[in-house]
Chain A
Amino acid sequence: MKAPDFDYVSPQTLKEALTLLDEGDGDAMPLAGGQSLMPMLNFRLATPDLLVDLNRLDELSGIADAGGMIVIGAMTRYADLEQSDLIANHAPLMAKALPFIAHPAIRNRGTIGGSVALADPAAEMPALLMTLDATVVVASLQGERSIAAGDFFLGLYDTALRPGEIVKAISIPKAAGIRRFAFDELTRRHGDYAMVGLAATADSINPLNELRLAFFGIADRAFRAIEAEEALNGHTADDEPATKLATEAVMALPFDGDVNASADTKRHLAGVLLKRVLQAL
């Protein structure tokens, strides 16, 4: 189908964009890379009165070294993240995961802020940000606030964003020392939404220490597998009792079936991924 009728503005400043969204009072939607919103418009799943295009807001784009953190503007595109030395050097988990996100032509347009604000349950970015202990910086006419990624993603397409707020930036602590990273996902076609995906980091692997695991594509949002982390910390990935406990903890996570796989299939695949990702750390 074609998109419904709407008004459209392409503001030049963030303040102008926030004013338009505030005045739109819920009937105005921000347009980031459009790689999810455009399909939603074409399917008539989204029917805004006004689209506020953020694509000309240069102030929202770019990757900066801010001491202990890497700060990524919300309108930074996946293709720019893929080509960034800052990301390669200081956020290697993200660098590893980027090629899994959709297809090159989508990554040329899609933005990190758009993915974060949409909170698709099968998207990679929420799980990555939860694993990396990132912070989401949001802006409205009232000012800015920072929300830990772990508190930002609330449910199916549901986030801590309040009316009139947009994602302004993502702040990721630099990977220190010898941290380990692994990422994998299972899809029917490379680049499609994952049936199950898993992002992992650890300070060390022998034994595992400060392990963080976040699954996505399993239910209404990404989930940290905290009980599995606790079961594995202090042990190696081939410690049978520890991995058995961790696998049981993963099986106890919420799983919902979707068009790609039933809940039981996803639960099975999550166990497969846990093994693979622990081996890859």
Chain B
Amino acid sequence: MAKTKDIKLMVNGEMVARTVPFRLNLVDFLRKDLGLTGSHVGCEHGVCGACTLEVDGKMVRGCLMLAVQADGATVATIEGLSTSGRIAELQAAFHERNALQCGYCTPGMLASALEYVERDGAADRHAIREHLSGNYCRCTGYQAIVDAIIDVIEGRTAP
């Protein structure tokens, strides 16, 4: 039995069909088979959050899901979230607040932040830090990231 499967899924608004090995995880599939290298691979065991991306409307760890499991799913990576404009405000605020330095964590950080903002999360530093607790940043100390997210939330709720 060939240890592969034909899968079809929607990635960033485009239908793709590929044959993938069972053991291939979703983020490696997106990076290597589709060339979408925006999602980063950090720890490969779900601790660092660099591979956070959206599957069927929910943010998940791209390293803790197999590509075959995404058969039929709708996936949005940082490339899709940028193109669609969904994270435009967050990107601008991260830029403005200097909320990234090396940028390795940023795609995952933006994805997690987007989930918080889109769920109408409060402009509460503690709650934001709890929400981002699964995303490591080794440069910023998180302060500027939290500042940026608060800017976006306050910008959205301002009259």
Beyond A7-B1, A35-B64, A109-B60, whether A2 also contacts B131 by CB under 8 A is no
Count CB-based A-B contacts (< 8 Å). 95
Could you say which interface size class chain A belongs to?
20 to 34
Q: What residues on A are CB-neighbors of B64 within 8 Å?
A: 34-35, 38-39, 106, 109
In the assembled complex, how far is the CB of residue A52 from the closest CB belonging to chain B, in whole angstroms? 12
Binds A, one of B20-28, B76-84, B93-101: B20-28
Question: Is A218 in contact with chain B by the CB < 8 A criterion?
Answer: no
Question: Is A157 in contact with chain B by the CB < 8 A criterion?
Answer: no
Q: How far is the CA of A51 from the CA of B135 in the complex (A)?
A: 28
Is A35 within 8 A of B61, CB to CB? yes
Binds A, one of B11-19, B65-73, B150-158: B65-73
Is A38 within 8 A of B130, CB to CB? no
Q: Which of B46, B63, B66, B135 contacts A8 (CB 8 A)?
A: B66
Q: How far is the CA of A41 from the CA of B69 in the complex (A)?
A: 15
Q: What residues on A are CB-neighbors of B28 within 8 Å?
A: 2
Is A2 within 8 A of B44, CB to CB? yes
* Chain A binding surface, main DSSP class: loop
B:1-55 near A, CB below 8 Å: 1, 3, 5, 21-23, 25, 28, 44-46, 49, 52
User: Most chain-B Cβ atoms within 10 A of its Cβ — which of A7, A8, A55?
Assistant: A8
Q: What residues on A are CB-neighbors of B116 within 8 Å?
A: 104
Q: What residues on B are CB-neighbors of A6 within 8 Å?
A: 3, 22-23
Question: Is A259 in contact with chain B by the CB < 8 A criterion?
Answer: no
Q: How far is the CA of A102 from the CA of B60 in the complex (A)?
A: 12
Is A190 within 8 A of B23, CB to CB? no
Q: Which of B46, B52, B133 contacts A39 (CB 8 A)?
A: B46
A:29-53 near B, CB below 8 Å: 34-35, 38-39, 41-43, 51, 53
Question: Is A11 in contact with chain B by the CB < 8 A criterion?
Answer: no
Q: How far is the CA of A12 from the CA of B52 in the complex (A)?
A: 28
Is B3 within 8 A of A8, CB to CB? yes
Contact with B along A218-257 (1 / 0, CB 8 A): 0000000000000000000000000000000000000000
Q: How far is the CA of A18 from the CA of B60 in the complex (A)?
A: 27
Beyond A55-B69, A105-B59, whether A7 also contacts B130 by CB under 8 A is no
Question: Is A99 in contact with chain B by the CB < 8 A criterion?
Answer: yes
Q: How far is the CA of A1 from the CA of B28 in the complex (A)?
A: 12
Is B133 within 8 A of A189, CB to CB? yes
Q: Which of A5, A10, A42, A102 contacts B68 (CB 8 A)?
A: A10
Q: How far is the CA of A103 from the CA of B64 in the complex (A)?
A: 13
Residue of B nearest to A51 (CB): B22
Q: What residues on A are CB-neighbors of B69 within 8 Å?
A: 10, 34, 53, 55
Is B22 within 8 A of A105, CB to CB? no
Question: Is A191 in contact with chain B by the CB < 8 A criterion?
Answer: yes
Residue of A nearest to B4 (CB): A8
Q: How far is the CA of A190 from the CA of B127 in the complex (A)?
A: 11
Q: What residues on A are CB-neighbors of B60 within 8 Å?
A: 105, 108-109
Q: Which of A1, A4, A109 contacts B44 (CB 8 A)?
A: A1
Q: How far is the CA of A4 from the CA of B115 in the complex (A)?
A: 32
Residue of B nearest to A103 (CB): B134
Q: What residues on B are CB-neighbors of A272 within 8 Å?
A: none
Q: How far is the CA of A131 from the CA of B133 in the complex (A)?
A: 27
Extra pairs beyond A6-B22, A7-B22, A191-B134 (11, CB < 8 Å): A2-B23, A7-B3, A8-B3, A38-B64, A39-B46, A39-B64, A42-B44, A105-B52, A106-B134, A109-B65, A190-B130
Interface set of A (CB-CB < 8 Å, partner B): 1-8, 10, 34-35, 38-39, 41-43, 51, 53, 55, 79, 99, 102-106, 108-109, 189-191
Which 9 A-B pairs give the minimum distances between C-beta atoms? Answer: A103-B134, A39-B45, A8-B22, A190-B133, A38-B64, A108-B58, A191-B133, A3-B23, A105-B59
25 residue pairs from A and B, CB less than 8 Å apart: A3-B25, A5-B22, A7-B1, A8-B3, A10-B68, A10-B69, A34-B65, A34-B66, A38-B25, A38-B64, A39-B45, A39-B64, A42-B45, A42-B63, A53-B69, A79-B58, A102-B134, A104-B131, A104-B134, A105-B112, A109-B61, A189-B133, A190-B133, A191-B133, A191-B134
